[in-house]
Amino acid sequence: MSKNAVSIRSLVQGGAGLGMREDGKLLFVEGALPGETVSYHLAAEKSSWAQAVVDEILEPSPQRVAPRCPFYDECGGCNLMHLSEDSQAEEKQRLFIDAMERTGGIPRDSLVLEPPASATGWEYRSRSAFHVDERLRQAGFLGRRSRSLVPLPSCPVLVSELSEVLAGRDERLWKAARKVKESLARISVFAGDADISYGKIPVVATVDGIPFHVSAQVFFQSNRLLMPSLIRFVLSHVKGERVMDLYAGVGVFSAFLEREGHTVIAVEKEPDCLELARLNAPRTRFHTAATEKWHPSMSEKVDTVVVDPPRTGLAPSVPALIASWKPERVIYVSCDSVTLARDLRKFLSEGYSPTIAQVFDLYPQTSHYEAAVVLDRMGELDRMGKSRSSRA
C-alpha cells in the first residue's frame, strides 16, 4: 500500500470514512466508504487525527454508486450521494447504535431496535435555504470546501416547486435577496401545498390529513413523505391520556396528539413558532418559555413527555426536571445521535431506561438522520440493577 493510501473501516458521524495510517493516526476521509481502499490528500492534521479527501478509489465498495447530481463534487448540499440508497439507511442505523454504545453506554441488546424507516431519496425536500447573488441572478448552495456560491439550475433532492425557485423562475426570490442588502444573501424557502413561503410569510402544508400553518422562518420537517412514519412512532408509544410536548415548535406532535384524544400541554420559547402552533393545535395549552426555565405547578399527573430538542440536545437540567414530574414514559426525538446518547445517559441516572428505538432517514443523500427513543420509568429494583451495571 502506498504512503497516501488507506483502508476504510467504517463511516463516522458526518459521513467521512474512518481509516488509520501506518503511524497509528486516525484519518477521517471525505468521500470514502467502508471496505474501500483509497488514495488521499490531507486537508487538516492534528496530533492524533487528520482530515483527508479522496483522490482515487483504488478498491471500490460494492455499495458505491455514481452520484445523480452533476454538481455533487462541488456543492456542499449533499455528502452521501455516492452511497446506494439502501445502504444509507443501514449505515445510519449503525451510526446510531455506535453513538448509543460509545457515548450513552447503552448496549445494543438492551434496546428493541425497529427497522430503519426510509422513503424515496429524490425530490423529497420541501424546505431549504438558498444562497443568492441577486446582482448576477444566481442561486444555489455554498461549495463543499469553500464559502463560494455554487450556482445550480436545479437540485435532485428538492421538490419540483423549489427547483423552479432555484432556477430563478420566481421573482420573489430576487426580491427577498434585495432586501437583505448583502452580496450573497441567504434566503429560507418552504414549499407548502399551493404556494411557497419566503421568510415569515406562512403557507399551508398538509401532513396525514392535518393542515399546518408554516413559514420558511420556523422549523418544519423538510421530508413530508417520511414525516408520517415518525409521527406514527411517537403516537403508537404514547402512554396514558395526559401528554407534555416540550420544544413544541409549530405544534406538529401536539396537533396529532389532540386528534388522538389526548390532553396536551406544550412548551415553546420562540414567538414565531408559538403564533403558528396555536393555529395548528387549538386545543393544546401552550406556554411561552424555555423548557429548562419552565416550572409548572401541575395538579394532575403527566403520563408521557415528548421532547424534540434542537441539534444541541437538552439543557443539562432538563432530564432531572422531567424526572421530577414522574411521567411513566418519555419519548425523545432527536436529529443528533451523539447529543441524544449523552442525554439518555442522564435519564438513566434519573431512573428512566431506553427500551425501544427507531432511525428515520429523513435526509437521504446526506449524513443527517433522525432517531426516536422510548424511555420507561424503572421500578426500584430495576434502578438498583442499572446503577450496579453503570458502576461495573
Integer Cα distance of 51 and 260 in angstroms: 48
Indicate the helix (H) or strand (E) that contains 339. Answer: helix 337-349
Query: ∠ CA 200-128-268 to the nearest 5 degrees?
Result: 50
User: Pairing between strand 138-142 and 242-246?
Assistant: unpaired
Torsion over CA: 203, 206, 211, 212 (sign): negative
Is 275 labelled a binding residue? no
Integer Cα distance of 38 and 58 in angstroms: 5
Is 93 labelled a binding residue? no
Residue carrying the nine cell digits 401528554: 243
Chain centre to alpha carbon of residue 360: 9
Q: Is 83 in contact with 30 (CB distance < 8 Å)? A: no
Please give the torsion angle defined by the CA atoms of residues 340, 345, 350 and 351, in that order, rounded to the nearest 10 degrees. Answer: 100
Q: Quick one: cell of 62?
A: 460494492
Is 155 tagged catalytic?
no
> Which DSSP state fits 64?
B
Indicate the helix (H) or strand (E) that contains 365. Answer: none
Is 308 labelled a binding residue? yes
Chain centre to alpha carbon of residue 153: 26
Q: Is 46 in contact with 55 (CB distance < 8 Å)? A: no
Is 268 labelled a binding residue? yes
Torsion over CA: 122, 126, 128, 134 (sign): positive
Q: Which residues face 45 on adjacent strands?
A: 50
Which among 75, 78, 273, 335 is annotated as catalytic? 335
Q: Quick one: cell of 56?
A: 482515487
Output helix, strand, coil percentages for the chain, rounded to the nearest 5: 25, 30, 45
Q: What are the phi and psi torsion angles at 312 (to 5°)?
A: -75, -10
Please give the torsion angle defined by the CA atoms of residues 248, 315, 270 and 244, in that order, rounded to the nearest 10 degrees. Answer: 30
For residue 285, the one-letter residue type is R
**CA proximity to 61, closest of 94, 91, 41:** 91
Q: Which residues are annotated as a binding site for S-adenosyl-L-methionine?
A: 221, 247, 268, 308
Active site residue ranges: 335
